Structure 1
Amino acid sequence: MKHAPAPSPDHDDPDNDAEAPSGRGSRGIQSIEVGSQLLKALARSGRAMALKDLAREAGMTPAKSHPYLVSFGKVGLIEQDPLSGHYGLGPLAMQLGLISLQQLDPVRLVIAEMPGLALRTGCTVSAAVWGAHGPVIIRVEDGPTPVRVSMRHGLPASLRSTGTGKVFAAFRDRAEIAAALAEEGAAGALDEPAFAAELADIRREHIARVRDDLLPGLSALAVPVFDGFGRVALAIAAIGPSALLDLQADGPQARALLETGRMLSQRLGHVTSH
């Protein structure tokens, strides 16, 4: 009695594109890995795309892309607009994204990164969230050389005088920030040209700088962490002696903060354009 030959591992690949396993851990299904480039391209774009544009962004040809899109459409990962023919993320992709956002805890994520960030920057680092009346520090991690400054969990951060506060002032709702500044005794600060220009710089560069504002000889850098809805969820800061903390955007401490901020934002579902 003859048995039917077993299907090849790439039997379901629309390209019939057999390749040897990469050897990185457990063997996967190559066609899924290839097709996922289309989903990643849509996520990066943040908008529906024509087939040729989507294929180009995914590094594929339209002919190669189309069978994947048909299959993704059948399970709800992709949907095609009947009028324009453009492809966008489907209902299943949306549901998976929302469930993922619900499961992620920004505070837990940032706390896990802080010991390593303190070592990379050589500074004391802090994390803050928006509280009832303004930014509140939720975690402080001493660096190799602890900073002699009063920083503890639950301490409010000034919107006007700290890098952490300026990050929130730059990215949160203007009316909300104006009210918080008034409580801080700085009513009308948002209309001051110098402060308004500083906040505009923070929005453009995604980094706040403070030199000798709170204490002589002490400086700080702070960056935002965004959630999947584009809202600032956290601010992370590095605080150190002014003589040792490089405030330049391309300095080692700034690069470490920015990289961590981008990574955490991506973990929380924030998508940035190219």
Structure 2
Amino acid sequence: MNTVVDNQGISRGEDDDQEDPASGTPNNGSSNEQPRKAIQSVEIGVRVLKALMDCGKDGAHLREVAEKSGLSRSQTHRYLLAFVNTGVVEQNAQSSRYALGAFAVRLGVAALARVDPVQIAGNHLASVLEELQTTGLLSVWGNYGPTVIRWIDGGIPLFTSLHVGSVLPVQASSTGILFLTHCQRVLTQPIIDSERAGGLVIDDKELEVQTVKAREMGYASTLGTVVPGLSAVSVPVFDPDNKLVATMSILSRVQDKNFYTKPRIERIRAAAIEASRAIGWSG
């Protein structure tokens, strides 16, 4: 039986959290003691996950996670192994780095989906995509930048590496341009710096031209800059405080040059305005 130390410095066996089959209450070794209000191992596991999140989107080695979580390497490794086995964390076979896994993405998406603004925007997007018979996506600002939280297929199939959980480049995507346009630079600058360190560099003057245009036109567009052969038009969704809460994007193949007609663009803009007003925006 492994031993852990509780918040009062008392050593307890991990098996102490098991329920007493007869009573249905935690068996803590004494009938006079109150049941423990939490399972400490779960709380420690969350500390490990938080530490992993703080290490950045490229993941981290065991020692980094251990340092940030304040645990020993052996204890950290046991928790990480459990998370790997359940899909919450994944480990790169080449670099041995740990990063959040597919199940963690699903948890995050499920949590975001419960937020009313996201649900409202998603419903409006689904409606306009059905009308236009095309594919689209809904994105919000995540820890690593604009993140796809909903993907809706429709119309002609599009072959792309994009999926729920994908992080879009701030400098090179229509979604990213909208976040640059409507969010404070203190939020977006760290992501810009990270992209530039990775080799994606777009001049500040060019970014300013694009953000001014996006503000004037009410939308942003890109032509094959994120995924070759794929073009996109994105529109902003605002909350009651006039803050950008999500972006709605419609996608098409670059070869379909006549897809983005003025009526289609106005329709997706109208859908975003309707969603914003349903959320409480008064603009």
Under TM normalisation by the shorter chain, which class is it? Answer: 0.5 to 0.7
Q: Is the 8 A contact 2:171 2:202 kept in 1?
A: no
Q: Name the SS for the 1:139 alignment partner.
A: strand
2:148 equivalent in structure 1: 137
What is the aligned counterpart of 1:225 among 237, 242, 251? 237
Query: What is the CA distance between 1:215 and its match in structure 2?
Result: 3.5
Q: Residue 150 of structure 2 aligns to a residue in which SS?
A: strand
2:281 corresponds, among 256, 270, 273, to 270
Q: What is aligned with 1:253? A: 264
Match in the other structure for 1:195:
207
TM-superposed CA distance for 1:247, in Å, is 7.3
Aligned-pair Cα RMSD in Å: 2.4
CA shift in 2, pair 1:189/1:215, >3 Å: closer
Cα distance between partner residues in 2 of 1:245 and 1:105:
35
Q: How high is the TM-score relative to the length of structure 1?
A: 0.56
Give the 5 Å matches for 1:59-98: none
Change (3 A) 1:241 1:227: same
Runs of at least 5 residues in structure 1 that lack an aligned partner in the other structure: 1-102
2:51 aligned residue: none
1:132 Cα deviation from its structure 2 partner: 1.3
Deviation at 1:184, TM superposition (A): 1.8
The match for 1:121 among 121, 132, 137 is 132
* Equivalent position of 1:155 in the other structure: 166
Q: Is the 8 A contact 1:124 1:238 kept in 2?
A: yes
**RCO higher in structure (CA 8 A, sep ≥6):** 1
1:205 counterpart residue number: 217
CA distance in 2, matches of 1:109, 1:116: 11
SS in structure 2 at match of 1:209? strand
Corresponding letter in the other structure for 2:232: A
Shift of 1:138: 0.2
CA shift in 2, pair 1:165/1:247, >3 Å: farther
Comparing 111-120 with 163-172, greater Cα deviation is found at 111-120
Q: Name the CA distance, whole Å, in 1 between partners of 2:257 and 2:234.
A: 12
Whole-angstrom CA distance in 1 between matches of 2:115 and 2:226: 34
| 157, 165, 168: which one aligns with 1:146 | 157
| Count, aligned residues | 169
Q: Which amino acid aligns with 2:263?
A: P
C-alpha separation between the residues in 2 aligned to 1:127 and 1:213?
18
What is the DSSP-based 3-state SS (H/G/I as helix, E as strand, rest coil) of the residue aligned with 2:196? coil
Matching residue of 1:50: none
The two structures have a TM-score, normalised by structure 2, of 0.55
Which is worse superposed, 235-244 or 133-142? 235-244
Q: Aligned with 1:151: secondary structure?
A: coil
Identity of aligned residues (%): 22
Structure 2 gap ranges (5+): 1-113
CA–CA distance in 1 between the matches of 2:282 and 2:197? 34
CA deviations over 1:139-164 (Å, ceiling 9, x no partner)? 00012112111121111111111111
Is the alpha carbon distance of 1:131 and 1:104 closer, same or farther for their aligned partners in structure 2, counting shifts above 3 Å?
Answer: closer
Could you tell me how far apart the structure 2 residues matched to 1:232 and 1:199 are?
14
- Call closer, same or farther: CA 1:152–1:252 in 2, change over 3 Å: same
* Equivalent-residue separation in structure 2 for 1:267 and 1:146 (angstroms): 30
- Post-superposition CA distance 1:205-228 (Å, at most 9, x none): 110010121334321100100000
Question: Is the alpha carbon distance of 1:186 and 1:252 closer, same or farther for their aligned partners in structure 2, counting shifts above 3 Å?
Answer: farther
Distance 1:246 1:168, change over 3 A: farther
Distance in 2 between the 1:211 and 1:106 partners? 28
**Aligned residue in 1 for 2:98:** none
Report the Cα offset of residue 191 of structure 1: 6.0
